[in-house]
Amino acid sequence: MKNKLIFRPLVEEDYKIICSWWRWWRWPEIPKEMLPDNGKGGFMIQKDKTLIACCFLFITNSKGAKLEWLVSNPKYKEEDRKEAIEMLINSVEAVCKNMGYKYIFSIGRNKHLMETHKKLGWLVDEKPSYEIIKRI
């Protein structure tokens, strides 16, 4: 029997692992206090005990939500890696629809992730953008 991919909410223990993924991909570690629900406001795809990819979902008081900081396990090289990332994005979209949202916004620069979003029907602006953050 083929092991199947599971979509689940983030839990406290995921944060340290996510930080290691960010470091590997040369991203800054995002402080928990800057993330939804103190680092638990998002979702993970896993197979058995292997964590594959995750993202955070910022809930707003508008009709739009923000899917952000999507990152994957750099050591996971299985053939279903792409399927796992697509499942993550599609599943978050379903969560948003169930919550009454009409739009999902995200920022990205990774060409593979941008192509995945296009494949899934997202509008991708071809001009580069940058995250601008200030600790106050």
Residue 99 has pLDDT above 50, yes or no: yes
Residue 11 has pLDDT above 80, yes or no: yes
Tell me if residue 39 falls in helix, strand or coil. Answer: helix
Tell me if residue 75 falls in helix, strand or coil. Answer: coil
Domain spans of the chain, in order of start: 5-107
DSSP state string for 94-109: HHHHHTT--EEE----
Residue 92 has what pLDDT? 97
Model confidence over 37-87: pLDDT tens digits? 999 999 999 999 999 999 999 999 999 999 999 999 999 998 999 999 999
Residue 1 has what pLDDT? 47
Find all residues with CB under 8 Å of 72, minimum gap 6, and list them. 21, 52, 53, 54, 81, 84, 85
C-alpha span between 131 and 21 (Å, rounded): 18
Residue 6 has what pLDDT? 97
Residue written as token pair 């953050």: 133
Residue 2 has what pLDDT? 64
Residue 9 has pLDDT above 50, yes or no: yes
Residue 113 has what pLDDT? 79
C-alpha span between 63 and 81 (Å, rounded): 31
Tell me if residue 93 falls in helix, strand or coil. Answer: helix
123 vs 49, which has greater pLDDT?
49
Q: Does 5-107 carry CATH code 3.40.630.30?
A: yes
